[in-house]
């Protein structure tokens, strides 16, 4: 249940900074890395950094430990490891190139629209 709160917090923080095409993949039983992957993108380096910064700040405000942030300075693909949830914030140009949604195509998508409306 705690990882559902973390997922909701991550999605809401990304949405607050106008991240686009936010999806959440349920990685339970598929990946040992995390229970959920959140994937989204921004349209500029500054927006990608703003999304990542907001997720980090909201995690700290809610008592979650951000284990690692990779790629922040380059702002092309920022990976934020918050334990059971790993958030991938792409620059628009990089998202289609890496296409994590297809790579992890066997992972079911979580219904996050309800998370954005609460």
Report domain extents, the chain.
Answer: 2-116
Q: Token pair for residue 108?
A: 């079911």
Q: Which residues contact 88 (CB under 8 A, 6 or more apart)?
A: 37, 38, 39, 40, 77, 78, 79, 100
Q: What are phi and psi of 76, to 5 degrees?
A: -105, -40
* Cβ 17 vs Cβ 54: under 8 Å: yes
Give the pLDDT band of residue 86 (cuts 50, 70, 90).
Answer: very high
pLDDT in tens, 50-70: 999 999 999 999 999 999 999
More confident residue, 77 or 32: 77
Average predicted confidence (pLDDT) for the chain = 91
pLDDT in tens, 23-48: 999 999 888 889 999 999 999 999 99
Q: What pLDDT score does 11 carry? A: 95
Q: What is the average per-residue pLDDT within 82-105?
A: 92
Task: For CA atoms 111, 38, 11, 82, give the dihedral sign.
Answer: positive
Q: What pLDDT score does 103 carry? A: 87
Q: What pLDDT score does 114 carry? A: 67
CA dist., res. 5 & res. 8, Å (int): 5
Q: What pLDDT score does 16 carry? A: 96
Residues forming beta bridges with residue 40, ordered by sequence position: 89
Q: What is the average per-residue pLDDT within 81-107?
A: 91
Say if domain 2-116 classifies as CATH 3.30.930.10: no
């Amino acid at each position: 249940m705690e990882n559902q709160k973390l997922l909701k917090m991550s999605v809401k923080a990304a949405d607050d900074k106008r991240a686009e095409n936010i999806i959440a993949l349920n990685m339970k039983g598929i990946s040992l890395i995390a229970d959920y992957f959140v994937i989204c993108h921004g349209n500029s380096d500054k927006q990608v950094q703003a999304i990542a910064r907001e997720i980090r700040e909201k995690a700290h405000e809610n008592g979650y430990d951000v284990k690692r942030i990779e790629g922040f300075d380059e702002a092309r693909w920022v990976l934020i490891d918050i334990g059971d949830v790993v958030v991938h914030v792409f620059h628009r140009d990089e998202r289609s190139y890496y296409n994590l949604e297809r790579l992890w195509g066997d992972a079911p998508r979580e219904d996050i629209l309800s998370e954005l409306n609460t």
